[in-house]
């Protein structure tokens, strides 16, 4: 129910409690018949009392197969027209519209009501406490096979005195007032970002919405500029039915001049059974329409290229040692085993990407936020990865070896067709690919962000296909060497130099573990991060001492190392994340905490807003800061008067930041955007920043003031 009508009805019912004995009933007119419909004017009370407004309704009953229209009738029709001339003691009366239904006939779409409808009325009392005379001439268009204007004329007098209510009339009016779309808070509905699309010859819209409870049978009505009409929406739902994406084509006559939808104001009405929401929105920048077959191939190609480039990104540099060692490690084997090892590494990468895809699909179905690298926001994951990387480093330094049981080694050799059992199986190369993928996810490389943004806004099939293409791109170098064995001859021959390389790479992995601990130190209290680091150091020491004892001592030290590893993983659970201390890096840029709601106000003040979504686990973000953001001339530009730099730290989970990224079709970082008088909807910057790109965006956002 609209708050005003709810209050008035409650007030009227409250007054009735003190009205004393006497007749109580609504004031209403007799039913007036017309072709296809009948109507009456009814109020919730039979007097004005002390009320400043009278709750009322225009009650229309429609014959079978007849309908009447909403405020925006669609391709044909007219809304009700009311004339209150002749009324006395009446202010400016207002009429509300319950949520409409969609009707389709002969290719035309109209919006309105059938069977019965009450249009809630609010009738201000110009002089409270005085009688009110109502004179209403109403014209309502009703249609079946033909359309007929039904004309009704009502007069009704509300005397001064007690405003005695009629519960039946009040309930009738309230029932339809409850069906008037509100702000969605009570219904649990929210209309999200609205963007123009390139679909169809006249463009269209892409509208997102969310629901507290899953959608059942949603429909969406769009009201735009005069002359603009929109087709029925193509609606898809995800995240357990709680997220909706509607794609709507604009219908425009060929003779009409093409006007861009971007920047246009719209009124949106989302209806889902008995619940509804109305929102006003401004159309954001155009996005690509739903892809056809050719576009799908392009998107998959972008994902493939993004996966290939991922091998060269800064966030992957810590794991290049694992990849290099996997290639060098097969150098002394037969060509067949070389190929199998490389294929196993590629399989590990592909399998990890498919696991990530399955996780994303599951989280979306459960209604949770999904994104690229979000596992690095979890302290237990960081601690587990630090343990694994430390164990890899200890293994490279020769502190321990993992040898498969003889039966397993014999089975692997027989399965591969090799003439003799191999000491090492394919598990090592497979795990190398798997862990390389996990450690490669903190940041999104060029093209990766584009592919992921499309994938994570779609359904399970699209997510699976694009993640598979990303994995294939990252595994491509290994598949290439496996397909062309001659390339393996370019690798150096195994020798004593490998001992030194292993030592260097082992130390590099310890550096990776230190980086993971530095990210952990931001998410948990200092004592927790220090304790995890101590457990890892103790684990490495125990493994080193293990080599100096007999079989019993080795078993004891192995058990101790396993206990320390498990303790390091579980220790973060013993601490409250709210006690974490976030270090403030020294910067000449006057960063302010990110507040999405503050951006429009800053732009209206004529300021340029630079948003930097970053995280301590995002290496590409750090590279952007080191090479572009924190260096002049960009740092100087961000420190100028009239520029508002906003820092969104996503090191730890933050739903507001996740929603902001999703509104722009992004699910990974780095992410940077610039807003201003010349770009109120924002200019999105590439994942890898350049000085020229940032300065150009700042200049464009200033607009005419630059």
Q: For 602-651, how does the pLDDT look when each residue is reduced to its tens digit (9 = 90+)?
A: 988 889 999 999 887 776 777 788 889 988 899 999 989 899 999 998 87
Q: What is the mean pLDDT of residues 37-45?
A: 96
Q: Is the pLDDT of residue 335 over 70?
A: no
pLDDT at 407: 44
Residue 19 has a pLDDT of 37
Please determine, looking at this structure, whether the domain spanning 189-287 carries the CATH number 2.60.40.10. Answer: yes
Split at pLDDT 50, 70, 90, the class of 129 is: very high
pLDDT of 474: 84
**pLDDT at residue number 57:** 96
In terms of pLDDT, which residue wins out, 696 or 325?
A: 696
Q: How much is the pLDDT for 328?
A: 52
Identify whether the C-beta of residue 250 lies closer than 8 Å to the C-beta of residue 200: yes
> Regarding predicted confidence, which is higher, 19 or 46?
46
Region of 45 on the Ramachandran plot (φ > 0 left; ψ -120 to 50 alpha; else beta): beta
Q: How would residue 420 be classed by pLDDT, with cut points 50, 70 and 90?
A: very low
Three-state helix/strand/coil letters over 560-580: HHHHHHHHHHHHHHHCCHHHC
From CA 390, how far away is CA 506, in angstroms rounded? Answer: 9
**Range from 75-84, 184-193, 352-361 that averages highest in pLDDT:** 75-84
CATH class of 592-705: alpha beta
CB 191 within 8 A of CB 268: yes
Q: How far is CA 551 from the centre of its chain?
A: 55
Tens-digit pLDDT profile for residues 309-319: 766 654 454 45
More confident residue, 8 or 90: 90
Q: In the chain, pLDDT over 70 holds for what percent of residues?
A: 71
**Distances, alpha carbon 94 to alpha carbons 54, 119, 142, 701, in Å:** 11, 10, 21, 41
581 pLDDT exceeds 60?
A: no
Res 171: pLDDT: 92
CATH C-level class of 3-178: mainly beta
Question: What per-residue confidence (pLDDT) applies to 180?
Answer: 96
Between these two residues, 196 and 156, which has the higher pLDDT value?
156
Residue 225 burial (CB < 10 Å; 0-12/13-18/19+)? exposed
The closest alpha carbon to 390, from 512, 486, 491, 299, belongs to 512
Task: Tell me what pLDDT residue 239 has.
Answer: 76
> How many other CB atoms are there within 10 angstroms of residue 81's CB atom?
12
Whether the predicted pLDDT of 9 surpasses 50: no
In which band, very low, low, confident or very high, does the pLDDT at 296 lie, cut at 50, 70 and 90? low
- The string of pLDDT tens digits covering residues 210-266 is 898 999 999 999 998 877 888 889 998 887 788 899 999 888 644 455 567 888 889
| C-alpha–C-alpha distance, residues 266 and 621, integer Å | 36
Residue scoring higher pLDDT (583 or 340): 340
Look at residue 159 and tell me whether its pLDDT is greater than 90. yes
Mean pLDDT of 404-433: 50
- Return the minimum-mean-pLDDT range out of 58-72, 124-138, 484-498: 484-498
Look at residue 423 and tell me whether its pLDDT is greater than 70: no
* Stated length of the chain: 706
- What is the phi-psi region of residue 136: left when phi exceeds 0, alpha when psi lies from -120 to 50, beta otherwise? beta
Amino acid 480: pLDDT: 81
Query: What local confidence, expressed as pLDDT, does residue 490 receive?
Result: 62
Cα 352 from Cα 649, distance rounded (Å):
27
Tell me what pLDDT residue 505 has: 64
Q: Would the pTM count as exceeding 0.75?
A: no
The H or E element that residue 154 is part of is strand 147-158
Instruction: Judge whether 3-178 and 189-287 match in fold.
Output: yes
Tell me, what's the pLDDT at 28? 92
Q: What is the pLDDT of residues 351-381, one digit of tens each?
A: 888 887 787 677 655 544 455 555 566 677 7
- Rounded to the nearest integer, the mean pLDDT of the chain is 77
* Segment 534-559 mean pLDDT: 77
Helices (H), 246-292: none
In the chain, DSSP finds a helix count (H) and a strand count (E) of 18, 25
pLDDT band at residue 419 using 50, 70 and 90 as cut-offs: very low
Domain spans of the chain, in order of start: 3-178, 189-287, 293-378+402-498, 592-705
Look at residue 15 and tell me whether its pLDDT is greater than 50: no
Query: At 538, is the pLDDT very low, low, confident or very high (cuts 50, 70, 90)?
Result: confident
Q: What is the pLDDT of residue 549?
A: 64
CB 310 within 8 A of CB 615: no
What's the confidence (pLDDT) of residue 410? 44
Residue 405 above 70 pLDDT?
no
pLDDT tens, 484-526? Answer: 766 656 655 555 655 666 677 667 777 777 877 777 777 777 7
């Amino acid at each position: 129910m609209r708050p005003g009508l709810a209050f008035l009805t409650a007030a009227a019912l409250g007054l009735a409690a003190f009205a004393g004995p006497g007749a109580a009933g609504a004031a209403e007119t007799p039913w007036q018949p017309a072709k296809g419909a009948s109507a009456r004017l009814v109020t919730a009370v039979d007097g004005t009392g002390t009320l400043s407004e009278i709750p009322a309704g225009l009650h229309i009953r429609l014959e079978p197969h007849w309908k009447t229209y909403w405020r925006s009738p669609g391709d044909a029709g007219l809304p009700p027209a009311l004339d209150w001339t002749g009324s006395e003691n009446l202010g400016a009366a207002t009429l509300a519209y319950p949520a409409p239904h969609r009707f389709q006939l002969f290719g035309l779409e109209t919006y309105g009501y059938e069977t019965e409808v009450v249009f809630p009325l609010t009738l201000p009392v110009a002089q409270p406490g005085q009688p009110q005379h109502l004179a209403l001439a109403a014209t309502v268009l009703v249609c079946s096979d033909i359309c007929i204007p039904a004309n009704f004329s009502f007069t009704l007098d509300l005397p001064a005195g007690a405003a005695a209510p009629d519960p039946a009339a009040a309930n009738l009016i309230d029932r339809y007032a409850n069906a008037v779309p509100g702000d969605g808070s009570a219904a649990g509905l929210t209309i999200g970002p609205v963007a123009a699309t390139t679909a169809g010859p006249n463009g269209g819209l892409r509208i997102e919405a969310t629901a507290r409870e899953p959608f059942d049978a949603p429909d969406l009505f769009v009201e735009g500029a005069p002359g603009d009409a929109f087709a029925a929406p193509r609606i898809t739902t995800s995240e357990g039915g709680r997220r909706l994406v509607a794609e709507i084509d604009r219908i425009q006559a060929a003779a009409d001049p093409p006007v861009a939808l971007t920047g246009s104001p719209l009124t949106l009405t989302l209806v889902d059974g008995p619940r509804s929401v109305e929102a006003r929105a401004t159309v954001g920048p155009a996005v690509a329409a739903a892809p056809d077959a050719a576009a799908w191939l392009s998107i998959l190609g972008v994902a493939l290229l993004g996966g290939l480039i991922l091998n060269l990104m800064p966030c992957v540099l810590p794991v290049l040692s694992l990849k290099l060692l996997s290639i060098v490690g097969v150098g002394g084997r037969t060509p067949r085993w070389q190929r199998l090892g490389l294929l196993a590494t590629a399989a590990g990468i592909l399998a990890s990407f498919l696991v990530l895809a399955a996780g994303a699909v599951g989280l979306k179905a459960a209604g949770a936020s999904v994104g690229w690298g979000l596992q690095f926001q979890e302290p237990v994951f960081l601690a587990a990865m630090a343990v694994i990387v430390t164990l890899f480093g200890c293994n490279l330094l020769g502190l321990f070896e993992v040898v498969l049981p003889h039966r397993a080694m014999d089975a692997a050799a027989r399965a591969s067709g090799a003439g003799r059992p191999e000491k090492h199986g394919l598990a090592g190369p497979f795990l190398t690919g798997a862990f390389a993928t996990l450690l490669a996810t903190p940041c999104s490389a060029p093209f990766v962000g584009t592919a992921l943004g499309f994938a994570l806004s779609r359904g399970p099939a699209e997510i699976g296909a694009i993640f598979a293409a990303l994995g294939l791109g990252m595994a491509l170098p290994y598949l290439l060497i496996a397909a062309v064995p001659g390339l393996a001859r370019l690798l150096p021959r195994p020798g004593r130099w490998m001992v030194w390389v292993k030592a260097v790479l082992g130390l590099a992995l310890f550096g990776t573990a230190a980086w993971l601990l530095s990210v952990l130190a931001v998410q948990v209290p200092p004592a927790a991060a220090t304790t995890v680091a101590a457990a890892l150091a103790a684990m490495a020491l125990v493994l080193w001492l293990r080599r100096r004892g007999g079989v019993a001592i080795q078993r004891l030290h192995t058990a101790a190392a396993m206990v320390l590893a498990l303790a390091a993983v579980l220790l973060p659970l013993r601490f409250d994340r709210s006690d974490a201390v976030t270090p403030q890096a020294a910067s000449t840029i006057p960063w302010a905490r990110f507040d999405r709601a503050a951006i429009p106000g800053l732009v209206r003040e004529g300021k340029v807003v630079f948003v930097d979504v970053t995280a301590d686990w995002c290496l590409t973000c750090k590279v952007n800061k080191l090479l572009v953001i924190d260096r002049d001339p960009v740092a100087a530009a961000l420190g100028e008067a009239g520029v508002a730099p906003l820092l969104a730290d996503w090191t730890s989970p933050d739903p507001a930041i996740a929603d902001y990224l999703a509104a722009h079709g992004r699910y990974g970082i780095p992410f940077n955007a610039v807003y201003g008088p010349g770009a109120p909807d924002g200019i999105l910057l590439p994942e890898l920043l350049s000085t020229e790109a940032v300065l150009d965006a700042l200049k464009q956002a200033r607009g005419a003031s630059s």
